[in-house]
Amino acid sequence: MIITENRKLTGIILFLLLLITPSSIIGQTSTYNQFWNEFQFNRALGDKWASEINLGGSFSSTTSENSMFNTNIQRTLRIWAHYHYSPRWKFSTFLAYYHNKDVPEIGQFEAPEWRFALQGIYYFHKIGYTLSTRMRGELRFVGNEDGNFEDVYRYRQQVKFLKPFNSKFLRKGVVYMTASDELFFKSKSKTTGIDFFDRNRLTLGAGYLITDDLQIELVYVNEFLTRDKGNQVNNALSLSISFNNLLPNLKKKFASKPPETIQDE
């Protein structure tokens, strides 16, 4: 039984790797090394609803400098609302602002962007691991070189695998691995190109739950982008830190401290 489960897991990982293999070698015109970081603040609003705020930043190499920290290319603020419809379905929406600055795929100019999205995730809960598929539709308003905003419509489809190593569930002290592959499709625009296929994104990494409410995840990301002016490959290291119910936990922690007593000299 254990051998069968291990074969299944190996097959899943190999399938994800095979999806991205052609992307790394065919039509490669330019390659960038990048670092992405994000802080996630989650708050439960009852049995079904939850809110989330993301603060992020991205750094990239350039054509003349290979360091992934060479230049800051993007800052992000994203506000989510989540609805847990059932153990298998979660529906979400977000409104975000992206301060794009020297993003290689867009061009070397500032391109502010507003983004709205609707998303659904379906979970295949298995003993010892979880598979999920994510569907996301995005409406993007991206600034171009002329100072105007263009409408860009994008659809994203992801398959994700998550496997805890030292427990069947995610909780304090658990180490886990994660792998995913995602396809992006978009409408044509001046800033993002005329190709219908936007990119393929493969991720492979691991995470650790420091506490039940504090989680850190480090992931390698390989992106292959098709553009009318030449294809692009991004090799990125992504670091995310997640806080659950941060303010209530801090309030509870300080409220539980006993009052200090003043001793007579």
pLDDT digits (tens, 9 = 90+) for 16-32: 555 544 444 444 478 99
Helices (H) and strands (E) in the chain, counts: 2, 11
CA atoms of 236 and 204, how far apart (whole Å): 11
Supply the pLDDT for residue 178: 97
CA atoms of 41 and 247, how far apart (whole Å): 9
Is residue 157 scored above 80 in pLDDT? yes
Percent of the chain with pLDDT over 90: 60
Q: In the structure encoding, which two tokens stand for residue 264, read together?
A: 């007579």
Which conformational region is residue 253 in: left (phi greater than 0), alpha (psi within -120 to 50 degrees), or beta? Answer: alpha
Choose among 114, 165, 162, 158: nearest CA to 138: 114
The residue-averaged pLDDT of 251-262 equals 65
First to last CA, the chain: 71
Grade residue 58 by pLDDT with cuts at 50, 70 and 90: very high
CA atoms of 205 and 151, how far apart (whole Å): 33
Q: What residues contact 212, with CB distance under 8 A and at least 6 apart? A: 171, 172, 244
Q: In the structure encoding, which two tokens stand for residue 123, read together?
A: 């979970």
Using CB atoms within 10 A of its CB, is residue 86 exposed (0-12), middle (13-18) or buried (19+)?
exposed
On whether the CB atoms of residues 180 and 159 are closer than 8 A, the answer is yes
Among 20-29, 53-62, 220-229, the range scoring the smallest mean pLDDT is: 20-29
Q: What is the pLDDT of residues 128-148, one digit of tens each?
A: 899 999 999 999 998 877 778
Supply the pLDDT for residue 62: 87
Grade residue 88 by pLDDT with cuts at 50, 70 and 90: very high
Grade residue 56 by pLDDT with cuts at 50, 70 and 90: very high
Give me the residue label for tokens 């039509």: 27
Choose among 75, 52, 53, 72: nearest CA to 61: 72
Q: Which domains does the chain have, with CATH numbers?
A: 2-255 (2.40.160)
Structure letter (DSSP) for residue 261: P
Q: What is the pLDDT of residues 196-218, one digit of tens each?
A: 899 999 999 999 999 999 999 99
On whether the CB atoms of residues 56 and 39 are closer than 8 A, the answer is yes
Phi, psi of 71 (to 5 degrees): -145, 145
